Amino acid sequence: MADDTTLSAFLESLGSSAPAPGGGAASALAGALAAALAEMVAQLTAGRPKYAAVDEQVRVVIAHLQTARARLVQLMADDERAFQAVSAAYKLPKADEAERASREAAIQRALGAAMQPPLAVMSTVCDVLALAEEIARIGNGTLVSDAGCAAILGEAAVRAAALNVQANVVLLHDTAVAEQARQQVADVEARALALCQQTMETVRQRMGLEP
């Protein structure tokens, strides 16, 4: 989604019969929403006398979240372009053996490239989840539920992006590359789940929902 594209227009496109944008871009958007929510908590903590002891730490969190949010917005567009490249590769001519071989090579290259945006979404959102956990611990207590919402959205974004990686992995001929991607997905999903659970435990404690 380009910077000048409204959310409404993006959702209209997402819900249309066009194959892109799709799940990859939506995953990146969910991650960006998580980053923005965590940033809001941090912004409403910074400069408050009650939280003066963590002010410098909070401002670092804000800077990192802003960077992650911008990165995730960019990844929305990157994912759409990657899908279009895969689609174009499948449309290449296949009239003879040489064309079929060239087309298949192009498809494999495009599939490999198409894994990169959702993998980057997963990695970036894991960073967001770590920051959401941090701000849930030290941030403005009246907004801790928003940090929890950020964690839930972030974990969902990672899981959704993982599906988009796997959709490409299953079509790869290079088994070593495919296995490496599967392992990376599993590792990042596990980290995201652990961070979300840790954040939610902090959130529930600070909200008085747990002893």
pLDDT of residue 7: 87
The whole-number average pLDDT for the span 178-182 is: 96
DSSP state of 142: G
Question: Does 6 fall in a domain?
Answer: no
Does 5 map to a domain? no
Residue 71 lies in a domain: yes
Where does residue 92 fall: left (phi above 0), alpha (psi -120 to 50 degrees), or beta otherwise?
beta
For residue 4, is pLDDT > 60? Answer: no
| 10 within a domain of the structure (yes/no) | no
User: What is the overall mean pLDDT for the chain?
Assistant: 95
What is the per-residue pLDDT across 83-102, written as a single tens digit (0 to 9) for each? 999 999 999 999 999 999 99
Instruction: Please indicate, yes or no, if residue 3 is contained in any of the structural domains.
Output: no
Q: Is residue 193 part of a domain?
A: yes
In a domain, 13, yes or no: no
Above pLDDT 90, what percent of the chain?
93
Rounded average pLDDT over 31-45: 98
Q: What CA–CA distance (Å, rounded) separates 208 from 167?
A: 41
CATH code of the domain in which 132 resides:
1.20.120.680
Please give the share of the chain, as a percent, with pLDDT higher than 70: 97
3-state DSSP helix/strand/coil % of the chain, to nearest 5? 80, 0, 20
pLDDT tops 80 at residue 6: yes
Looking up tokens 């747990």 gives 210
Region 136-143 average pLDDT: 97
- pLDDT of residue 3 exceeding 60, the answer is no
Residue span of the structural domain in which 97 resides: 21-206
* pLDDT at residue 15, as a whole number: 94
Pull the structure tokens for residue 143: 């907004």
Integer Cα distance of 192 and 107 in angstroms: 31
How many helical (H) and strand (E) elements, i.e. helices and strands, does the chain have?
6, 0
> pLDDT value at position 5?
59
**Average pLDDT for 116-143:** 97
Give the number of domains in the chain.
1
Which tokens is 44 given? 């409403």
Confidence of residue 1 (pLDDT cuts 50, 70, 90): very low
CB 206 within 8 A of CB 133: no
- State the pLDDT at residue 2: 44
Q: Please indicate, yes or no, if residue 150 is contained in any of the structural domains.
A: yes
**Which residue in this structure is represented by tokens 């993006």?**
10
* Largest separation between any pair of C-alpha atoms in the chain: 73
**Amino acid at position 202, single letter:** T
Determine contact, residues 54/141, Cβ cutoff 8 Å: no
Cβ pair 34, 157 in contact under 8 A:
yes
pLDDT in tens, 182-201: 999 999 999 999 999 999 99
- Site of tokens 């945006």: 117
